[in-house]
A = this chain, B = another copy of it.
């Protein structure tokens, strides 16, 4: 930021609308990096607002988003995608001229479609998507380091105020993220394969296993260490957020899902006809991708994700038997 003082925070007032996992992580990271003089938090949930107060996540906590955004230089929308249009419409008149409106949604075309029409002239829309998260939800689940060593994708439309874009780059950079600019449409395609379809098939296999008659739920649980339990992590992600992702990135998800199913049917055929070489070749090729992800600093090299060892974990119990006590 040419011309700004060394000790000057990046923003005077940052409003965070929605204080779940991502919103509360941003609040903590803004505080830790002294990026704002005032953090104003808004959330429709009274329980969330109480927690935001309890954890001291902001200087002010509001039930009405319009109050939070008044005089804000940066407004971060951290609500499920399906709530963006209503929130944008509601805060519209309270937005300060020159303010930046940004977000953290997993689909960028939908955000532009839902938010842009509500913004008055002189307010800059810089949509963003930090590719980071955990399967936990709510203000308590957030932590400032969530974005460290992760990518954040910004998808401003051509002609967006360059200073606003630079400020958002600096904002995410301060959290330890690397920032990339991308076309909204391309973003939605990339995330369909790296995030949306993986979540869908994880949700799906957990549902399939839950529906079986020949295998009991207790058996699924006991023998989940054979691979299944890995899928249950992302299948435990926030249901509202993920419903909205699939409803708002339909085209790209259906395209990638079609390819996934096509490949799976071919694999199924190889199993039926005993084509061992086909299987072996695929299984060898996939190993190299993981190596590349580890080399890029996006994954741990430790076996089994460096998962907490059973020694430190809970005692093994048989889910078929009622608990003692």
Contact = CB atoms under 8 A, between A and B. Distances in A.
Interface in A248-298: 250, 253-254, 256-257, 259-261, 263-265, 267-268, 271-272, 274, 276, 279-280, 282-287, 289-298
Nearest to A137: B287
B283 A298 contact: no
Given A215-B190, A303-B134, A285 B207 contact: yes
Contact of A299 (B149, B224, B227, B297): B224
Contacts of A197: 205
A214 interface: yes
B209 A289 contact: yes
Contacts of A148: 309-311
Contact of A286 (B132, B207, B227, B263): B207
A135 interface: yes
B210 A286 contact: yes
Chain A binding site: helix, strand, loop or mixed by DSSP? helix
Given A207-B263, A304-B135, A314 B289 contact: no
A121 interface: no
B289 A225 contact: no
A11 to B, nearest CB: 25
A238 to B, nearest CB: 8
Nearest to A187: B223
A191 to B, nearest CB: 6
B132 A221 contact: no
Contacts of A315: 149, 297
A171 interface: no
Contacts of A222: 131, 151, 180, 296, 298
A134 B307 CA distance: 10
